């Protein structure tokens, strides 16, 4: 509702209830438009930009290179956390953003991206 419309309604003896009703309807329509707009997920490629709770979650993707078979695949953060195993110092450094890759006996695992 524009100011001109409100002034015209006031001059035409429109009741306050009508003006309030118009304002509520307008706000409802604006909220409805906002709710229909899709929020695009943001992609983080630097581990320093990712919040700690998202590094080892389904939102993150790690590149997994198997040294024995020379194959490359992708794993999510939960799987990467399991691959770290009991290497708590590696886990802590990754959560702080100091490391973006680690190795195991047969694999090299590197942080690729996080999307949320």
- Which pTM value belongs to this model? 0.69
If you compute the radius of gyration of the chain from its CA atoms, what whole number of angstroms results? Answer: 27
CA 42 and chain centroid, separation: 6
pLDDT at 35: 85
How far apart CA 97 and CA 49 sit, in angstroms, is 8
pLDDT tens digits along 40-95: 899 999 999 999 999 999 999 999 999 999 999 999 999 999 999 999 999 999 99
pLDDT given at position 14? 65
> Rounded to an integer, what distance in angstroms lies between the CA atom of residue 58 and that of residue 61?
8
DSSP reduced 3-state for 80: helix
Q: In sequence order, what DSSP letters do the residues of 11-59 get, joined into one string? A: HTT--HHHHHHHHHHHHHHHHHHHHHSPPPPPEE-SGGGS-HHHHTSTT
The β-bridge partners of 61 are 76, 113
Query: In Å, how far from its chain's centre is CA 96?
Result: 19
The Cα–Cα gap between 63 and 111 comes to 6
């Amino acid at each position: 509702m524009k100011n001109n419309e409100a002034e015209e309604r006031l001059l035409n003896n429109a009741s306050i209830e009508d003006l309030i009703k118009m304002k509520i309807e307008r706000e409802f329509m604006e909220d409805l438009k906002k709710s229909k707009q899709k929020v695009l997920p943001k992609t983080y490629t630097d581990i320093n930009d990712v919040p700690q709770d998202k590094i080892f979650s389904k939102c993150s993707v790690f590149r997994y290179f198997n040294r024995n078979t020379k194959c490359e695949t992708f794993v999510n953060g939960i799987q990467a956390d399991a691959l770290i195993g009991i290497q708590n110092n590696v886990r802590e450094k990754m959560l702080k953003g100091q490391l973006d890759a680690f190795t195991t006996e047969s694999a090299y695992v590197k942080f690729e991206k996080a999307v949320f």
